[in-house]
Amino acid sequence: METAADLSAYGLVSKADMARMNAFCVAPPEYSPQRVVAIRTGVARMSQQVFASILNVSVSTVQKWESPSAAKHPSGAAAKLLHIVETKGIEAIIA
């Protein structure tokens, strides 16, 4: 990012490209069980089984994410996919 910022200062990287690079570098937020449930039921409107299949994780994993007592949270690619679903809708990953 430092190099891109330097190139941007010299006008070699556009503001739009800088915005895209920033989006890639920002870590997705942590997802509480309530937030995962809200994304699955409110945004995606899917059962745990279908949602797990779309995210390419097991149903058990989705159940653990949604369970307050499990203390398991989405991370890595799954967290990024949840972020995309939350911000752009389920269509962004299944279209």
- Total residue count of the chain as it appears in this document: 95
State pTM to two decimals: 0.72
**Structural domain total, the chain:** 2
Tens-place pLDDT, residues 58-88: 999 999 999 999 989 999 899 989 999 999 9
Tens-place pLDDT, residues 14-66: 999 998 888 777 766 889 999 999 999 999 999 999 999 999 999 999 999 99
User: 4: domain range?
Assistant: 1-29
| Judgement on whether residues 12 and 46 belong to the same structural domain of the protein | no
| Judgement on whether residues 82 and 47 belong to the same structural domain of the protein | yes
| Judgement on whether residues 37 and 54 belong to the same structural domain of the protein | yes
| Judgement on whether residues 79 and 38 belong to the same structural domain of the protein | yes
Q: How confident is the model at residue 43, as a pLDDT?
A: 97
| Judgement on whether residues 41 and 85 belong to the same structural domain of the protein | yes
| Judgement on whether residues 43 and 6 belong to the same structural domain of the protein | no
Q: Is 86 exposed, middle or buried (0-12, 13-18, 19+ CB in 10 A)?
A: buried
